[in-house]
Amino acid sequence: MTAEQLVLRNARIVLEDRIVEGTVSCRDGRIAELGEGDSALGEDLGGDWLLPGLIELHTDNLEGHLHPRPGVTWPTLPGLIAHDAELVAAGVTTVLDSLRIGEDPQYPNCRATVERVIEATAEARRLDTLRADHLLHLRCEVVAEGVVGDFEELVEQPDLRLVSLMDHTPGQRQFADMDAVRTYLSGRKGLKGAELEAYIQRRIAEAGDRGEHARAAISAIARERGLALASHDDATAGHVAEAAALGLTISEFPTSLEAGAAAREHGLKVVAGAPNAVRGGSSYGNVGALELAEAGHLEIFASDYVPASLLQALFLLAEVPGWDLPRAVATGSATPAAAVGLDDRGRIAPGLSADLIQVGMAGDLPVVRRVWRRGRRVI
């Protein structure tokens, strides 16, 4: 069986609205035909699930490979390749690498990191070492000095598909609980005592009214170019109304049911963290992802900081009242694809890219067995 022709048989195929037992035939990297019932030809999947390749809109995983320890910078190309391998092993065939812009003493050289990743991605493509399709998600820290200028310099990148507006000022949004802020900063940045308190007060003072200007400027530039725009850590209905007024279409990680409900009312797609679902709740004490799902507010899952959590979350979501596996799988495939304008993938349907994952069960745990991207086996 060549990369130009692929037949997968004896599979439980998860379609948009149902599950069928049958065969998927692919030619020249695209899905050609779907057939119910078994076939005498093709690779036998042994009754395993066949899902569309997962689409990841928000992952911090690459940053962990590039900065594996505080003060350590890893070479970019091998870091990118290792990140890519981890994602594909988790069933992700399209990833928007989420990279911060907006300089901060604790996040130095953000712009330079983004530029290195862009160069490394181009080189990895030239060398044919990437298994997933890598696109770009710029996470803009709106209260950081110089963030608008950095965005203006990077907005023409052809791989850019998503722009999110963040405000990690202590006391705001995700960091509204100051005790949680101190715990996070102490663990993540190694700050303690007077040094920690001084950092918190400096961040609050520096924020000022800078964020309001940056939100308006960045969203206007992104809208002009037709880029998908996301808010980040909306905590209140007011935050969501502000996002909607700026033309944002995605609400990443709302921290309350109130914000999740408001996002749905304003037509924003709600993204929740898959680790939140797997762990049974938020690590910051915010609303649970499955609570959002039960209330009817969840539309997209993102793996955030644990790539393997995405597939687990989909199968957990399928058990929530009112949900089933096709609807749950769409939160990690069809819906994120549509949210950022990728209309050639995310579903198992004729004419779409043959991005597919074979999933077996180890007890109650879904396990990736094999992965194909554009009809070519990559795991």
Q: Quick one: 336 and 244 in the same domain? A: yes
Q: Name residue 36's beta-bridge partners.
A: 22
Q: How many domains does the chain have?
A: 2
Q: Quick one: 142 and 242 in the same domain? A: yes
In angstroms, the CA 376 to CA 328 distance is 25
Task: Supply the range of the domain harboring residue 329.
Answer: 54-344
Six token digits for residue 192: 């303690």
**CA torsion through residues 45, 49, 53, 54, sign:** negative
Q: Which helix (H) or strand (E) holds 77?
A: helix 76-89
Regions of the chain short of the pLDDT cut 70: 1-3, 105-106, 168-181, 183-190, 200, 202-209
Note the maximum CA span of the chain: 71
User: What pLDDT does residue 180 have?
Assistant: 63
Q: Quick one: 68 and 5 in the same domain? A: no
CATH classification of the domain holding 378: 2.30.40.10
Q: Quick one: 245 and 279 in the same domain? A: yes
User: What pLDDT does residue 106 have?
Assistant: 66
Do the bridges between strand 30-36 and strand 160-166 make them parallel or antiparallel, or are there none, so unpaired? Answer: unpaired
Q: Quick one: 319 and 378 in the same domain? A: no
Q: Name residue 96's beta-bridge partners.
A: 135
Decide: helix, strand or coil at residue 323.
coil
Contact 148, 217 (CB under 8 A): yes
User: What pLDDT does residue 333 have?
Assistant: 99
Q: Quick one: 12 and 143 in the same domain? A: no
DSSP assignment of 40-52, as one string? SSSEE-TT-EEEE
Q: Quick one: 129 and 30 in the same domain? A: no
Q: Quick one: 361 and 325 in the same domain? A: no
Q: Quick one: 65 and 131 in the same domain? A: yes
Q: Give the position of tokens 């924003």.
A: 268
CATH classification of the domain holding 142: 3.20.20.140
Beta-carbon contacts of residue 355 (< 8 Å; ≥ 6 apart) = 52, 53, 93, 94, 345, 372, 373, 374
